[in-house]
């Protein structure tokens, strides 16, 4: 066998394409489905405040580190460490990322499948005339079924594989450039509607007035996990995307832009959802059902609500798709570059493997309800362990690698594009990745897990 031909790797075509693809990975169900319910379960405003601090102090530096490692090495997460730190065990960070990618695909694609069911329900008028209790029952009833959620999951997985099959530029980049702006416009319309519901101001108070007594070790761990999950960091996704970024891209600027877009979409989702949560008297602690109950409730009250509902679930599905594509790309890049499979074979094998694990995850509220580990079913286990354990741990190793092990002249070279752009922030960046980020992650992590 001739081995993988690295001169034939894919690449992104333009600055806008890089931003669309990276923001496409970051913005997804994490912002619109996960962020609101995790915020609801962890005290609202106080949680958001902690979240903001974490995005700026830890999220952006970790994202920059990943892009540096990716673009410097031009490899998948395992290959990147193998080439930047030959004969050292750092590549295990990449291996951990690949494992995380499987777990995220398994539960995330299941939720993405739910958006397709909701699209279908919109078309057949399934929400109409239902109050919030009935909508909640509808959601739980659907989740508890075996066949339908699994079928939607399979459809979504195939769509993801189809795009990855199309390649980096034609598949990933082009689809992101169209859908991301549309999602944004639609969210703003929903915010306006939600804010004009009677009693909506309580939602804003919940979101934006922090009650500091609510901040505990667990809150901070959940905020850390949410930030990593939402920004797609800690797992090598941005090493992989970084490896496709052209040499003249300003990596720091890209990281800030992606993080700000991601943050904005999460806050907008909060503003679209919480006023309605309080207006309809739903518990903010409704967990994974939150978005799927509240939004159909708003659509029911809007003139032309079904049109908005259709547009919204379509775009949510597409936001999810630009994220699942990025996760699958991590696995495919790894399999094709490290194990010397053709790209197509890599896609077929990974899709089949995800189909099995994700299928089991999909059944975890139905047929497999009884299967539990540490008191969590398969779905909750993957959701919790990826965001709160694997990704922060991955992030810790990533910054430690760049801060302490990798020669700084290469990092400087990568961030300054060979000395052609100024990097006034550099000292601050190094201090952050050497000391602040690793210490903060370690502390939050141990404290949140009850170890200290």
Tokens for 306? 């079904």
Q: Report the half-sphere exposure of 146 (CA within 13 A, side-chain side).
A: 5
Closest residue by Cα to residue 365 from 153, 155, 110, 145: 145
Q: Which of 4, 31, 44, 337 binds ligand PFF (CB under 6 A)?
A: 31
186 or 279: CB nearest ligand PFF: 186
Q: Does residue 29 bind ligand PFF (CB under 6 A)?
A: yes
Q: Which residues, 6 to 25, sit near ligand PFF by CB under 6 A?
A: 25
Q: Which of 327, 363, 390, 393 binds ligand PFF (CB under 6 A)?
A: 327
Binding mask 153-192 for ligand PFF (x = CB under 6 A): ----------------------------------------
239 or 378: CB nearest ligand PFF: 239
Q: Which residues, 72 to 111, sit near ligand PFF by CB under 6 A?
A: 104
H helix runs in 124-210, sequence order: 132-144, 147-166, 174-195, 201-208
Q: Does residue 323 bind ligand PFF (CB under 6 A)?
A: yes
305 or 392: CB nearest ligand PFF: 392
CA–CA dist 360, 106 (Å, integer): 8
User: What minimum distance in Å lies between the beta carbon of 331 and ligand PFF?
Assistant: 11
28 or 203: CB nearest ligand PFF: 28
Q: Which long-range contacts (CB under 8 A, 24 or more apart) does 279-285 make?
A: 279/194, 279/197, 279/198, 279/199, 279/200, 279/202, 279/203, 280/132, 280/197, 281/132, 282/132, 282/136, 283/40, 284/39, 284/40, 284/41, 284/44, 284/206, 285/40, 285/41
User: What minimum distance in Å lies between the beta carbon of 330 and ligand PFF?
Assistant: 7
Q: What is the DSSP letter of 376?
A: E
56 or 425: CB nearest ligand PFF: 56
Are the beta carbons of 165 and 344 closer than 8 angstroms? Answer: yes
Q: Does residue 223 bind ligand PFF (CB under 6 A)?
A: no
Beta carbons within 8 Å of 230's beta carbon, 6+ residues apart: 26, 30, 31, 34, 35, 262, 266
Q: Does residue 237 bind ligand PFF (CB under 6 A)?
A: yes
Q: Does residue 63 bind ligand PFF (CB under 6 A)?
A: no
Q: Does residue 194 bind ligand PFF (CB under 6 A)?
A: no
Q: Does residue 291 bind ligand PFF (CB under 6 A)?
A: no
Count, residues near ligand PFF per rule CB under 6 A: 15
Beta carbons within 8 Å of 217's beta carbon, 6+ residues apart: 444, 447, 448, 450
DSSP E strands in 376-433: the ranges are 376-377
327 or 441: CB nearest ligand PFF: 327
Q: Does residue 28 bind ligand PFF (CB under 6 A)?
A: yes
Which region among 250-258, 270-278, 323-331, 404-412 touches ligand PFF (by CB under 6 A)? 323-331
What residue is closest to ligand PFF based on CB?
A: 30
Q: Does residue 230 bind ligand PFF (CB under 6 A)?
A: yes
Q: Which of 194, 219, 326, 336 binds ligand PFF (CB under 6 A)?
A: 326
What are residue 372's DSSP bridge partners? 377
CA–CA dist 325, 171 (Å, integer): 9
Q: Does residue 114 bind ligand PFF (CB under 6 A)?
A: no
Q: Does residue 322 bind ligand PFF (CB under 6 A)?
A: no
User: What minimum distance in Å lies between the beta carbon of 77 and ligand PFF?
Assistant: 10
Closest residue by Cα to residue 149 from 312, 23, 327, 292: 292
Tokens for 291? 């978005």
Which region among 296-304, 321-329, 352-360, 412-420 touches ligand PFF (by CB under 6 A)? 321-329
User: What minimum distance in Å lies between the beta carbon of 391 and ligand PFF?
Assistant: 7
Q: How many CB atoms lie within 10 A of CB 52?
A: 15
CA–CA dist 327, 400 (Å, integer): 23
Q: Which of 12, 102, 118, 229 binds ligand PFF (CB under 6 A)?
A: 229
3-state helix, strand, coil in the chain (%, to 5): 80, 0, 20
150 or 391: CB nearest ligand PFF: 391
Q: Which of 24, 30, 70, 113 binds ligand PFF (CB under 6 A)?
A: 30
Is residue 336 within a helix (H) or strand (E), and if so which, with residue range? helix 305-338
Applying CB under 6 A, the residues found at the interface with ligand PFF are 25-26, 28-31, 104, 229-230, 232, 235, 237, 323, 326-327
């Amino acid at each position: 066998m001739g081995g993988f031909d690295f001169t034939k790797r894919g690449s992104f075509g333009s600055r806008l394409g890089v931003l669309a693809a990276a923001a496409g990975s970051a913005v997804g169900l994490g912002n619109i489905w996960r962020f609101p319910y995790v915020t609801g379960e962890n005290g609202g405003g106080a949680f958001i405040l902690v979240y903001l601090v974490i995005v700026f102090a830890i999220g952006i530096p970790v994202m920059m580190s990943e892009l540096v490692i990716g673009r410097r090495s031009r490899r998948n997460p395992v290959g990147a460490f193998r080439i930047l730190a030959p004969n050292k065990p750092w590549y295990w960070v990449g291996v951990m990322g690949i494992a995380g990618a499987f777990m995220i695909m398994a539960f995330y694609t299941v939720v993405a499948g739910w958006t397709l069911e909701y699209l279908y329900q919109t078309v057949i008028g399934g929400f109409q005339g239902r109050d919030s209790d009935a909508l909640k029952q509808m959601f739980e009833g659907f989740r508890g079924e075996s066949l339908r959620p699994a079928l939607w999951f399979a459809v979504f997985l195939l769509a993801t594989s189809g795009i990855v099959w199309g390649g980096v530029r034609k598949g990933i980049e082009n689809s992101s450039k169209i859908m991301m702006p549309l999602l944004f416009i639609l969210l703003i319309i929903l915010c306006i509607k939600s804010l004009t519901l009677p009693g909506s101001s309580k939602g804003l108070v919940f979101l934006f007035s922090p009650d500091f007594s609510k901040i505990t070790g667990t809150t901070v761990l959940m905020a850390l996990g949410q930030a990593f999950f939402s920004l797609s960091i800690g797992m090598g996704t941005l090493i992989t995307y970084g490896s496709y970024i052209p040499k003249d891209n300003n990596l720091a600027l890209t990281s800030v832009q992606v993080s700000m877009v991601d943050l904005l979409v999460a806050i907008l989702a909060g503003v679209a959802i919480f006023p309605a949560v309080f207006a309809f008297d739903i518990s903010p602690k409704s967990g994974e059902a939150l978005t799927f109950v509240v939004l159909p409730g708003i659509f029911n009250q809007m003139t032309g609500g079904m049109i908005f509902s259709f547009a919204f679930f379509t775009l949510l599905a597409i936001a999810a798709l630009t994220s699942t594509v990025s996760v699958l790309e991590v696995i495919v890049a790894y399999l094709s570059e490290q194990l010397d499979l053709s790209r197509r074979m890599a896609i077929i094998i990974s899709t089949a493997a995800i189909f099995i694990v994700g299928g089991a995850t999909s059944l975890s509220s139905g047929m497999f309800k009884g299967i539990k580990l540490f008191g969590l079913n398969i779905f909750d286990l993957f959701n919790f362990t990826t965001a709160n354990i694997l990704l922060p741990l991955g992030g810790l190793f990533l910054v430690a690698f760049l801060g302490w092990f990798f020669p700084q002249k290469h990092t400087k070279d990568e961030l300054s594009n060979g000395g052609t752009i100024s990097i006034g922030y550099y000292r601050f960046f190094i201090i952050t990745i050497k000391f602040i980020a690793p210490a903060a992650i370690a502390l939050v992590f141990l404290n949140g897990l009850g170890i200290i």
